[in-house]
Structure 1
Amino acid sequence: MNKVTAVILDWAGTTVDFGSFAPTQIFVEAFRQAFGVAITLEEARVPMGLGKWQHIEALGKLPSVAARWREALGRDMTSADIDAIYAAFMPLQIAKVVDFAASIDGVNDVVAALRLQGIKIGSCSGYPRAVMEALAPAAAHHGYTPDYWVATDDLAAGGRPGPWMALQNVIALGVDSVTHCVKVDDALPGIAEGRNAGMWTVGLAVSGNEFGATPQEYQRMSAQEVATRRQRAADKLLSAGAHYVVDTLTDLPAVIDQINQRLARGERP
């Protein structure tokens, strides 16, 4: 069958947690708790999509954070420091993630519609397994259960932006070709993951990390602010290699129709 047979979905900002707030807020708290160093929510968003240890490492390399770190501790961040922040992060994240487990509006309906087309629903996350073991059943309680999920620390090869979690979905779901897969993500490393795996990639410009607003904040925004923030997010996702950029997962079925037409013409990602 020369058509899409699987979609591989990210979690926070894609299927649950509109605005991707569960991880970002906890990074701010973990830095404060472990070392008394302040980081902003905007800084916490910059490396979103990476595994969480790697995310902390990347935060420590941001010039603004690195300067504040040196001012507070008189030295650069070390691997031991990253371990300490990660140790503070994990229990906070496990406790908090269940509060952000509700499906984003329209997600459950889209997943049901895709399954009616015979499309398998895979997933992967920048969350480690300990967090996913809390999030997955909580999301199921709200009606979202993918056919498979893999966490960023499950594979020896590593996480994003490498292709390994996406390819593990291909293996687990029994998909015949990566060219028949669509990777959907709201963060740049997740788009790179899909491209590195040889898949079609779809970025979400409004529901996720790059837009960075709660549903309530989004609803209150002026049309001009929405357009500005949407364009800024779309530009970043396209620069990361997204084949398509849409607002939320509710727009995915129309994109899959377009990809199926391209596959029928012999096109590949």
Structure 2
Amino acid sequence: MGNGSAWQEATTPGRFAGKTVIVTGAASGIGQATALRIAKEGGRVIAADISKERLDDFVAENGSLDLVPVSGDISTEETVAAVVAAAGGRVDALANVAGIMDNFAPIHEVDDERWERVFRINVTALMRLTRAVVPLMLEAGTGSVVNVASEAGLRGSAAGAAYTASKHAVIGLTKNSAVIYGPKGLRFNAVAPGPTMTGIVANWGSHMAAERLGPLMQANVPTPATAQQLAASITFLLSDDGTNINGAILASDGGWSAL
């Protein structure tokens, strides 16, 4: 299994030079690490997040980088429009990172409110922003989109029913889009993280995961990765380094999916 503590980040200067990239969930965790890496590699980042305070702090702490903050609920058309407007009519790449967890509840314990919230943030928001950005990419004849899925999109033992279903939906959207838009010069891929040290919203404790998902799954969970490690996987697919990769689901999970 991989060991996140032994990994050292190495950016590639200029890889995103001259490119405008939208990153959601940019105020913390994987989204922040992704936004930071792209900006350090020369990109102009439209950094979107629901937390204005955390987003403003992030931008202030990195004043030398080209970070354009847009705060708001990305599942609303209003915020989607604000994000696209901030991009100024050109979007070279999009990283759909924002997401929330569930409470590891099986389907007979899922309430409508939690189900709808998980799908609104994890699936509907992703769909709406992508829907708004794709016409700009089609006009340019090029573009790259990376969606953050999850091990829960590949297996049934990584989360509750709502989150698992939502991440399977993300993978379905990714593959369909790769097929539809690939011939037109656009690439759609997804990264499926395993356990990761992030700021994802989750109202649950480790005892609940252990109780509901069982000792076998818990015994096989690898050492959690860092947000920077996931950012490395995302930016690889997002950049021209992944030029021949379309419709792929990259399991960035320390080998968990190989078990």
What TM-score range do you get, normalising by the shorter chain? 0.3 to 0.5
More strand by share: 2
Q: Which has the larger radius of gyration?
A: 1
Structure number with higher helix proportion: 1
Q: TM-score if structure 1 supplies the norm length?
A: 0.39
TM-score of the pair, normalised by structure 2: 0.40
